[in-house]
Amino acid sequence: MQEDLFKRLVAHCKEYGFVYPSSEVYDGLGGVYDYGPMGVELKNNIKEYWWRAMVQMHENIVGLDSAIFMHPLIWKASGHVDAFNDPLVDNKDSKKRFRADVLIEGEIDKMNGKAEKEVEKAAKRFGESFDEKMFRETNPRVLEYTQKAIDVEKRLAKALKEENMADIKAIIDELEIADPDSGSRNWTDVRQFNLMFSTQLGNISGEEGKLYLRPETAQGIFVNFSNVQKTTRQKIPFGIAQIGKAFRNEIVARQFIFRMREFEQMEMQFFVRPGTEMEWYEKWKEKRMAWHKAVTPAEKLKFKDHDNLAHYANAAVDVQFDFPFGFKELEGIHSRTDFDLSSHSNLSGKKITYFDPEINEHYVPYVVETSVGCDRMFLSILSNAFAEEQVPDAQGEDSKRIVLRLAPSLAPVKCAVLPIVKNKEELVGKAREVFDRLKLHFLCQYDEKDAIGRRYRRQDAIGTPYCVTIDFETIENDTVTIRERDSMKQDRISISEVVRIVRERTDMANILA
């Protein structure tokens, strides 16, 4: 059911110009997507929402736009050359490549799924008298499945931490995991695969000229720490925010724009006095969750602590969203210690410290990072907004609609201007006049083709919050109807009020507040 819904959402994205497969005329390029006319507007609005919440709303956070290409030693210092790997396994029969940890996690999900099935069956059998808590705690089958899932999860986390590829392979063999498509259990050994894309500088050959496409935007912030601090005279605690492309050679890129090889990150590094990082980590967890909750229902969001910390972190949590394929990471919040600044200082030989006038001390700041994928945010916003519904009192083709219930300030088009008929010069002239006035303030669409019901459906499908209709009464008294997308309610208002009303209701301040 959810899978079907996801397929329809992906098809909708293409049909209405949100997201296209990249290079489609050449049959596409795996894990790469292009944003169409509606997609680019929604994405820009998401970026604006983030930027304003982080930079505009915080006096102590400033912006940066660092280059994608950076000195190759940056990736040595950051640990990405040696430790930015995923465990990879090939199936010798199907010749397909998999992430070994993802295969095992799939098995863990199956074990938990079996336990849930037992609970569901018992709930049906016992009806009202069913005591779920007691059943979970005592039923031998439920206990066996859940314990097994916990054991495998722990063993996988340990093996990943210790980079014990042999044990990861042993888990695959012991659980008799098969290639999901071919059913073959004929696996190669598990080996580490570095996720960075590399390229070559034109004028330097060999290893020395090897460059990487950045796998995270964060390093551009770290290496600019002293520049930004000195030029802005910010005092700790302060943050640097950046939005930009990142690249990862994902072994398996799937689930549409959830896991891509080229994607965009919105990252903020918050520099703090050593010893205060956990306090700031908690504060940023809270602030970031509030940012998500302003545009997403609370029940679709949750925190998930990391079992397996990245090489730079002493605490890490994901904000997960309930995607159509289950709860998955939307944003990562990490306490990154002084790992990055110290490493860059050691490898470059340049001092990267801060003088704290309050305690009269030089130190290497600690860092709390918030990092959210713009594309994942786009997918979460769209999948939450996508609804298929019956339209009361409508007939035939117009009786069903797909509506994107986007927050009005995020919607690509804020207002559509629709003359009720297209062959009345007076009406069309008036509609054009209203449109010309509105387009100074918002992205609007003018549409006169097809019956009015059909035109409303087209606007609903791209999430336009307001439709302004010009009818015969408009010519008499300069009033129009304004239709609200979700309730489909129409009000009659004066033309002179349209800009104010649409502006107030689509203002980003509504969600920023």
Residues forming contacts to ligand GAP in the complex (CB under 6 A) are: 216, 218, 248, 250, 259-260, 263, 265, 267, 329-332, 369, 371-373, 375-376
Pick 217 or 229: Cβ nearer ligand GAP: 217
- Per-residue burial over 57-81, b = 16 or more CB atoms within 10 Å of its CB, e = otherwise: eeeebbebebeeebebebbebbebb
Pick 198 or 510: Cβ nearer ligand GAP: 198
Strands 415-419 and 444-446: parallel
Pick 107 or 216: Cβ nearer ligand GAP: 216
Q: How many CB atoms lie within 10 A of CB 287?
A: 15
Q: Shortest CA distance to 268 belongs to which of 327, 195, 336?
A: 336
> What is the C-alpha separation between 455 and 447, in angstroms, rounded?
7
Which residues are CB-contacts of 86 (< 8 A; sequence separation ≥ 6)?
Answer: 99, 101, 192, 193, 195, 250, 251
Pick 319 or 417: Cβ nearer ligand GAP: 319
Q: Rounded to the nearest whole angstrom, what is the least distance from the CB of residue 187 to ligand GAP in the complex?
A: 24
Q: Rounded to the nearest whole angstrom, what is the least distance from the CB of residue 257 to ligand GAP in the complex?
A: 7
Pick 187 or 263: Cβ nearer ligand GAP: 263
Q: Rounded to the nearest whole angstrom, what is the least distance from the CB of residue 357 to ligand GAP in the complex?
A: 30
Which residues are CB-contacts of 404 (< 8 A; sequence separation ≥ 6)?
Answer: 382, 385, 386, 387, 411, 460, 461, 462, 463
- Per-residue burial over 242-254, b = 16 or more CB atoms within 10 Å of its CB, e = otherwise: bbbebbbbbbbbe
Q: How many CB atoms lie within 10 A of CB 210?
A: 14
Q: Rounded to the nearest whole angstrom, what is the least distance from the CB of residue 277 to ligand GAP in the complex?
A: 16
Contact 33, 20 (CB under 8 A): yes
Give me the sign of the Cα torsion angle 225, 227, 228, 232: positive
Q: Rounded to the nearest whole angstrom, what is the least distance from the CB of residue 280 to ligand GAP in the complex?
A: 16
Long-range CB contact pairs, 307-315, < 8 A, 24+? 307/153, 307/154, 307/157, 308/157, 308/160, 308/161, 309/161, 310/334, 311/79, 311/83, 311/339, 312/78, 312/79, 312/336, 312/337, 312/339, 312/340, 313/337, 313/339, 314/277, 315/278, 315/281
Q: Rounded to the nearest whole angstrom, what is the least distance from the CB of residue 289 to ligand GAP in the complex?
A: 14
Q: Rounded to the nearest whole angstrom, what is the least distance from the CB of residue 9 to ligand GAP in the complex?
A: 17
Pick 216 or 447: Cβ nearer ligand GAP: 216
Pick 41 or 86: Cβ nearer ligand GAP: 86
Q: How many CB atoms lie within 10 A of CB 262?
A: 17
Pick 222 or 435: Cβ nearer ligand GAP: 222
Q: Rounded to the nearest whole angstrom, what is the least distance from the CB of residue 367 to ligand GAP in the complex?
A: 10
Q: Rounded to the nearest whole angstrom, what is the least distance from the CB of residue 264 to ligand GAP in the complex?
A: 8
Contact 332, 376 (CB under 8 A): no
Pick 149 or 316: Cβ nearer ligand GAP: 316
Q: Rounded to the nearest whole angstrom, what is the least distance from the CB of residue 318 to ligand GAP in the complex?
A: 7
Report the residue number whose CB is nearest to ligand GAP: 373
Helix extents (H) in 243-314: 277-293
Pick 265 or 464: Cβ nearer ligand GAP: 265
Pick 94 or 249: Cβ nearer ligand GAP: 249
Q: Is 473 helix (H, G, I), strand (E, B) or coil?
A: helix
Long-range CB contact pairs, 200-203, < 8 A, 24+? none
Q: How open is the CA angle 180-84-363, to the nearest 5 degrees?
A: 145
Q: Rounded to the nearest whole angstrom, what is the least distance from the CB of residue 492 to ligand GAP in the complex?
A: 44
